[in-house]
Amino acid sequence: MRKFLTALVVSGVALSAAAQSGTPSSLTLDDALGIAKKNNPTYQQQLTGRTRASLALRSAYGAFLPSADASFGSGYRQGKPEVFGGVAFGATSDIISSSWGLNFSARFSASTLSELRRARANMDAAEADMSVADLSLRNVVVTQFLTALQSHANATLQDSLLSKVQLDLDLAKARAGVGSGTTLDVKRAEVAVGQQQVTALKAHNSAELDQVKLFQQLGVSQPGPVTLVPLTSVIAPAFEIGQLMEIARKNNPTLQGFQSRRQAAQLGVRSAKGAYTPTVSMGAQLGGFSNQYKNAEVLVSSARSSVLSSQASCFSQDSLRRGAGLAAITSQCSAIQFTDGQAQAIRDSNKSFPFDFTSSPYNLSLSVSLPLFDRFGREQRLQEAQIARDNASYDVRKQELQLAADVTSAWTSLQAAYRMVKLQDQNSSAAQEALTLAQERYRVGASTFVELVQARNDYERASTERIGAVYDYHRAWTALEIAVGRPLR
């Protein structure tokens, strides 16, 4: 009971330490792909293409909205008259002013709608490019994951071979001890043990390096000892080539990207033809201003002088009327006065800076323009758009042919890889039986040590080739999935 409790305590401490360190104890292929999508820097850089296409699509929608400009300004003028032709103009007081304005404008043509559709097609192409990036990332990660698994399997095989050669050494020593073996067999067994130790060390080093490269592709540093979950299932492919071709035509992102670019090129031709259609332009302007004299008494003096001048003119007219025998207007002239209230009102109205604006007349405009001749620029742009459309169509056709070749090649390779695994399973089983038989024959003295070494080498070669066949099979599946455009398992 004491040992049992001690084991529980040790296990709890170990689990707590592992949880605190955050180091995963195992890593599946799906986990690796998820980490790579979040951290692989090359993949993250490719995300900007979709962002740029999205911004271009938003700008295409924005072409249907009017552009707007807002302005606000202020000024200062020194209170000094300017002389033109011997006559002085301008105020004798400093003047501060402010103004505001709003301008709206819009332009619409047949190209406006074509450019929107073209931006949508480019957005679809960007989405297809992201799917291509996903497949490329999957290809890189899966390939390196399989390489790391294969290296680990080879290292495990070399460890098992080390146990076998150690057993051969024990058998050689036992036979030499009873006189049925030779010292040469013992030395050969010792050399084999040393060589196998070196081989196993190299295999483990290669496995560690391949795992480091895997985490490099994931975009993160290796957190510590991590066990990769192997892919051990080998099943017969259940797809037919016609079915695969149909899936590829619908899902291959490279083909979809070329098709979207072909559509964008076709819309580019339509947009170029829009240069021959009228363009409608609309505009609107609103604004206001304010002026304020720094010295309001200048305005008061000017108003007082104007009133006094009017009063003097009225009295002169009154004198003329009386001289002509007409009724006098003296009372009316006496009523013309400049009061303190008027002066204060002038001072108050001068306080308009900076936001007491006087509205300016608004302006509305509408125009329709029809281009007649631009020195063959429209013709050149139209022909270039037509050439781009034709090239995009050729790219689609070329990709369709490439897709058919890739899918057929990957499908054929997968079938061959599956048959190769089955054959290597048989070879490995036969080599295992031969090695067991050779060890038993050597133990009883029915065969030589050379025959035992030969059987062990045959077993090592068959096991290594079986491991290679298994992971070649998984690589063939990956190549087929990349060609088709989506996972198939």
Instruction: Calculate helix-pair angle for 41-62, 110-178, nearest 10 degrees.
Output: 170
Judged against a pLDDT cut of 50, whether residue 359 lies above it is answered with yes
Q: For the chain, what percent of residues have pLDDT higher than 70?
A: 94
User: Residues 474-482: what's their mean pLDDT?
Assistant: 94
Which class does domain 69-108+279-294+354-369 fall in?
mainly beta
Q: Which of 49-63, 171-185, 197-211 has the lowest mean pLDDT?
A: 171-185
Judged against a pLDDT cut of 80, whether residue 16 lies above it is answered with no
Q: Which amino acid is it at 417?
A: A
Looking at per-residue confidence, does 187 or 19 come out higher?
A: 187
What is the residue-averaged pLDDT of the chain? Answer: 88
User: Residues 23-52: what's their mean pLDDT?
Assistant: 88
Residue 240 has which token pair? 């037919």
Q: Are strands 26-27 and 227-228 parallel, antiparallel or unpaired?
A: parallel
Q: In whole angstroms, give the CA distance from residue 226 to residue 208.
A: 10
Residue 36 has which token pair? 């790579």
pLDDT confidence of residue 89:
67
Judged against a pLDDT cut of 60, whether residue 21 lies above it is answered with no
Express each pLDDT in 314-350 by its tens digit.
989 989 888 888 888 888 898 989 898 999 998 888 8
Give 397's pLDDT tier (boundaries 50, 70, 90): very high
CB 18 within 8 A of CB 221: no
The residue extents of the domains of the chain are 26-65+110-277+376-489, 69-108+279-294+354-369, 297-349
User: Residues 212-228: what's their mean pLDDT?
Assistant: 91
Residue 450 has which token pair? 């050379």
User: Residues 171-194: what's their mean pLDDT?
Assistant: 87
Find residue 27's DSSP bridge partners.
228
- SS3 of residue 291 by DSSP: strand
Express each pLDDT in 108-138 by its tens digit.
988 888 899 999 999 999 999 999 999 999 9
Distances (CA, A) of 266 to 61, 127, 416: 19, 19, 43
Give 88's pLDDT tier (boundaries 50, 70, 90): low
Express each pLDDT in 94-110 by its tens digit.
889 999 999 999 999 88
Q: Which of 81-90, 169-178, 297-306, 379-388 has the lowest mean pLDDT?
A: 81-90
Express each pLDDT in 398-440 by its tens digit.
999 999 999 999 999 999 999 999 999 999 999 999 999 998 8
- Residue 22, phi then psi, degrees to nearest 5: 75, 10
What's the pTM value of the predicted model, to 2 decimals?
Answer: 0.73
pLDDT confidence of residue 90:
66
- State the fold for domain 26-65+110-277+376-489: Outer membrane efflux proteins (OEP) (1.20.1600)
Q: In whole angstroms, give the CA distance from residue 416 to residue 472.
A: 10
pLDDT confidence of residue 4:
33
User: What's the full length of the chain, in residues?
Assistant: 489
pLDDT confidence of residue 23:
41
Element (H, E) at 59: helix 41-62
Express each pLDDT in 267-291 by its tens digit.
999 999 988 999 999 999 999 999 8
Q: In whole angstroms, give the CA distance from residue 347 to residue 304.
A: 13
